[in-house]
Amino acid sequence: MKVTDIMKKKMSFSFEVFPPKMDKPIEPLFETLEHLYKFNPDFVTCTYGAGGTNVGRNLEICKAIHDSGKTISLTHFTCIGNTKESISEQLQTYLDNGIEHILAMRGDLPAGWEGTRGDFGYANELVEFIRDNFPKFTIAVAGYPEKHVQANSYAEDIAHLKVKIDAGASFIMTQLCHDVDKYSRWVERIRKANINLPLVVGIMPVFSKDATIRMAVSNGSSIPGDLAEVIGRWGNNPEDFKRAGMDYTINQIYRYIDAGIDGLHIYALNKWKDVTELMNRSGIRVAAE
């Protein structure tokens, strides 16, 4: 089954996890996954080593997701430090392990790097390479409702998005965007640019003050007034903050659904207890016993 076929019938529902650091045990993540499966996600994604780290663990986790038989496994993948040869090797290994969905990205450039230090400088080149050499993959690309942090303008960023879509992508997964109105304006812009692929919207749950601010700032995402209010009012008390943050996140999920999306993707942050509470309270999905 392909994620794109699911989205033809209904809004897809998915989670994202990340690999633990090499010196940390992997079992807690496997436990997290077991809890996330209870919500019957259509697919679960695993991030691919920011700055080229933890790459091996990405495969181990993607394989575990696939082998669970409970959902579709989608791997993130980047150009950072990757030659064509190493990309081919890794992509073949994913396919050999039953992983046929990929989010193809350039990746964030590590501090001090001017380029990817690999054979591809931008995501569109990677997408084209996958399409031509590994056609079994269903390819997603990243989209930025508040434009990519390095792009000079929306027009420029959307033109680049169009190029990577025309290279062979089948759907778009969005960067965190707390401002649903900005998302809606971006959707209008990309549709005008003749970008008509399904949109899987990433929701970053608001669980802790510092992480919320850090992630928004590093991605160049804005903090709208109602979120600023949560931070200002509850920021000094982690428990109150988490409660108010969950309310905020649930409201945001419903606003996105109202805005019209093809998929709802929860950045689970490897926190199954908080995510379980969020899901149960939202009523979006009920955990199976």
Asked if residue 101 binds ligand FAD (CB under 6 A), the reply is: no
- Confirm whether 156 is a catalytic residue: no
Closest by CA position to 177, among listed 270, 73, 274, 255: 255
Residue range at the interface with ligand FAD (CB under 6 A); choices 1-9, 145-153, 223-231, 278-286: 145-153
Q: How far is the CB of 124 from ligand FAD (least distance, A)?
A: 6
- 114: Cα within 13 Å, side-chain hemisphere: 0
CA end-to-end span of the chain: 25
| 26, 20 Cβ separation under 8 angstroms | yes
> Of the candidates 57, 66, 106, 242, which one interacts with ligand FAD according to CB under 6 A?
106
Asked if residue 221 binds ligand FAD (CB under 6 A), the reply is: no
> Of the candidates 13, 48, 248, 272, which one interacts with ligand FAD according to CB under 6 A?
48
What is the β-pairing status of strands 72-78 and 101-105? parallel
> Of the candidates 63, 148, 178, 209, which one interacts with ligand FAD according to CB under 6 A?
148
Which residues are CB-contacts of 259 (< 8 A; sequence separation ≥ 6)? 180, 183, 184, 187
Asked if residue 173 binds ligand FAD (CB under 6 A), the reply is: yes
Rounded Cα distance between 55 and 48, Å, is 6
Which residues of the shown chain bind ligand FAD in the complex (CB under 6 A)?
Answer: 47-48, 50, 76, 78, 103, 105-108, 122-124, 142, 148, 150-151, 156-157, 160, 164, 173, 175, 202
The set of catalytic residues is: 16
